[in-house]
Amino acid sequence: MKERLQQQLEEAIRALLAEAGDAGEIPAVALEIPRQKEHGDFACNAALLLAKRLGRKPREIAEALVEALGDAGGLVDRAEVAGPGFVNLWLAGDRWRDVLRGILEVGRSYGGSDEGAGVRVQVEFVSANPTGPLSTGHGRQAVLGDCIARLLEFRGFDVTREYYFNNGGRQMRVLGQSVKARYLEALGVAAPPPAAVLADPEKSWVDEVGGLPVQFPADGYQGDYIVELAEALCAEHGDALVGEPAEAIFREVAEKQIFAGIRATLDALGIHFDVYSNEKTLYDEGKLDAVLEDLRAVDLIYESEGAVWLRGTTLGLDRDRVMIRSSGEPTYLLPDIAYHREKMERGFDVVVDVMGADHIDQFPFVREAMSALGYDAGRIEMVMHQFVTLTRAGRKVKQSTRKATIVTADDLLEEVGGDVFRFFMIERRADGHLDFDLDLATERNWNKNPAYYVQYAVARTHGIERTAADAGLAMPGADDFDADRLNLPEELEVMKKLGEFPELVARAAAAREPHHLAYYLRDLAGLWNPYLQDGTRHRVVSDDAGRTAARLGLVLAVRTVLTNGLALLGIAAPERM
């Protein structure tokens, strides 16, 4: 619809330019839906853009444009010049109604496209290391990444969801040590670390067991989940593991169990990854050494103070960074670079890295290193998101790692449910902070909750279908009704909104900004729920068979769009609530 109008418009502009002896390019005119509906269905600013170039008054040009456009091949009912020189266009009424047929014909794929056909995209997200349960921030990232993936799939891209984690480095050793210390504590052979030690990250705690020192690491993991892991080991193995090194069974069991917990959380959110990658594999396959050699070959590596450094300054960055510590252990940077090289080698056309604000510092180094290694770093995108804060009873919920007052993604999920969790997490732009309002999310009067508001709009369409079925009526097919019977202004409003959906999806996908969907759905439901409220003026199932069929068509179209939109957010579209 809009495309056709745009085409007509450009032709008219071309004609206008030709008349003035101007054979240049036509400007990128905006054809947009005005905020005020008194300004028509579409408004065009072409005359304003051309004024200087043609040396004529904008309104004059606008008049000429209106004349040249005519009825735009039957699309336009009325056109007028307004304000400083806008051309406001009113579409012929039946053109809006075409939207309904279009929706019913394609149904579930309305809003989708094949623009991404043959393009392989990897979306990497969550990527939390298996050292503890997912935080609310990870929860946000999980929903964000999944929704981006869903959007891209809907636009025809070949999407791989991937989770990468570091399991080879120092933090996993600390994890093993933490579990072992708690294990000995559970056995009763070691004392728990004093509170003063736990409160000070610089201090470590040492106890003697069988003449050997056992240490709770200074930066050990303090969460209750570590204690629980240790107690489970104690119950299963008794004291048989006392002589085992922390790096062996303790570390392995912890990684396995914690990772299982993470996957359970993701499962509960309906999020499934295609590929799990980890640092250890890269290490075992020699990928870390290889990347180091190749970076050395282009003179980006040097040694200093016993550590191996990447020359960030040569790459145009503000500093150099350590790749391998003087202890011999790599930092995160080296495996990250090796991992991204793998992404390139695996042939993805586009790589989207979703990451929290605290990780973005690393990104330019990875990107520039890719470039230096001869890859097209332009294929690598970053989507950054800020943190999540919780508000309960009008106050910020204080969270502290040290005091173990962390609210996990699981806690939150249990409290509000998956649909609300997803809606609230995706509702805001990723690059702003997210204030998760628990009062609103757990509101007993569900009507205040925007997630339910949209779902309710869907449920009502099913209620109408049930009523229709009771009257012996089936939902109509695309050609089974006369859309001209829908001529109330509020019906046209709904149809216009439905018509915007494909462009909205395209924009959200291209910009990797799923939050637009949440607002769109809220808006559409905000037209639809009031429409249904007026049961006399807008009664769908009535004695008027023709109008009933047309309105059932509208009901089905609205449901289709709401359902498609909710699916892109991973939220259920219920038949009843």
Site for RNA in 354-413 (CB under 7 A): 357-362, 384, 386-387, 391
Contacts of 446 by beta carbon, 8 Å cutoff, 6+ apart: 452
CB of residue 25 vs RNA: minimum separation in angstroms?
Answer: 14
Part of the chain binding RNA (CB under 7 A), chosen from 139-147, 154-162, 455-463, 479-487: 455-463
First to last CA, the chain: 35
DSSP string, 3-70: HHHHHHHHHHHHHHHHHTT--SPPP---EE--SSGGG-SEEE-HHHHHHHHHTS-HHHHHHHHHHHHT
Backbone angles phi and psi of 536, in degrees to 5: -95, -50
CB of residue 358 vs RNA: minimum separation in angstroms?
Answer: 4
Structure tokens at 336: 């990250």
CB of residue 389 vs RNA: minimum separation in angstroms?
Answer: 7
Part of the chain binding RNA (CB under 7 A), chosen from 17-25, 102-110, 459-467, 479-487: 459-467
Cα separation, 91 vs 388, whole angstroms:
44
Q: What residues does 437 pair with on adjacent strands?
A: 391
Strand blocks (E) in 83-239: 86-91, 120-124, 158-165, 205-209, 212-216
CB of residue 307 vs RNA: minimum separation in angstroms?
Answer: 4
If the CB atoms of residues 7 and 467 are measured against RNA, the closer one turns out to be 467
Could you tell me if 321 and 309 are in contact, meaning their C-beta atoms sit under 8 angstroms apart? yes
CB of residue 471 vs RNA: minimum separation in angstroms?
Answer: 9
CB of residue 393 vs RNA: minimum separation in angstroms?
Answer: 12
Residues 284-323 that bind RNA (CB under 7 A): 304-307, 318-319, 321-322
Residues 179-208 that bind RNA (CB under 7 A): none
Residues 213-232 that bind RNA (CB under 7 A): 219
Binding residue (CB under 7 A) for RNA from 163, 164, 221, 452: 452
If the CB atoms of residues 62 and 121 are measured against RNA, the closer one turns out to be 62
CB of residue 211 vs RNA: minimum separation in angstroms?
Answer: 30
Part of the chain binding RNA (CB under 7 A), chosen from 183-191, 220-228, 352-360, 564-572: 352-360
Cα separation, 77 vs 89, whole angstroms:
8
Could you tell me if 90 and 78 are in contact, meaning their C-beta atoms sit under 8 angstroms apart? yes
CB of residue 202 vs RNA: minimum separation in angstroms?
Answer: 10
Part of the chain binding RNA (CB under 7 A), chosen from 78-86, 204-212, 221-229, 491-499: 78-86
CB of residue 200 vs RNA: minimum separation in angstroms?
Answer: 14
If the CB atoms of residues 40 and 145 are measured against RNA, the closer one turns out to be 40
If the CB atoms of residues 428 and 485 are measured against RNA, the closer one turns out to be 428
Task: Tell me the residue type at 287.
Answer: K
Q: Which of 403, 399, 424, 383 is nearest to 127 (CA)?
A: 383
Q: How far is CA 482 from CA 84, 100, 429, 433, 487, in A?
A: 40, 10, 40, 48, 11
If the CB atoms of residues 190 and 550 are measured against RNA, the closer one turns out to be 550
If the CB atoms of residues 272 and 433 are measured against RNA, the closer one turns out to be 433
CB of residue 120 vs RNA: minimum separation in angstroms?
Answer: 26
Q: Which of 226, 262, 255 is nearest to 126 (CA)?
A: 262
CB of residue 118 vs RNA: minimum separation in angstroms?
Answer: 25
Residues 250-269 that bind RNA (CB under 7 A): none
If the CB atoms of residues 257 and 529 are measured against RNA, the closer one turns out to be 529
Residue 294's CB is within 10 A of a number of other CB atoms, namely: 17
Q: Which of 396, 393, 528 is nearest to 454 (CA)?
A: 528
Q: Is 518 exposed, middle or buried (0-12, 13-18, 19+ CB in 10 A)?
A: buried
Q: In what order do the strands lie in the sheet with 321-324?
A: 301-304, 307-310, 321-324
Residues 533-562 that bind RNA (CB under 7 A): 533-535, 538-541
Size of the site for RNA (CB under 7 A): 98
Residues 102-161 that bind RNA (CB under 7 A): 129, 131
3-state secondary structure of 459: helix
Q: In what order do the strands lie in the sheet with 120-124?
A: 275-278, 158-165, 120-124, 350-356, 380-385
Residues 483-522 that bind RNA (CB under 7 A): 507, 513, 515-516, 519, 522
Residues 24-53 that bind RNA (CB under 7 A): 28, 30-36, 38-40, 43, 45, 48-49, 51-52
Task: Tell me the residue type at 182.
Answer: R
Residues 424-443 that bind RNA (CB under 7 A): 427-429, 431-435, 437, 440
If the CB atoms of residues 37 and 272 are measured against RNA, the closer one turns out to be 37
Question: Can residue 456 be called a binding residue for RNA (CB under 7 A)?
Answer: yes
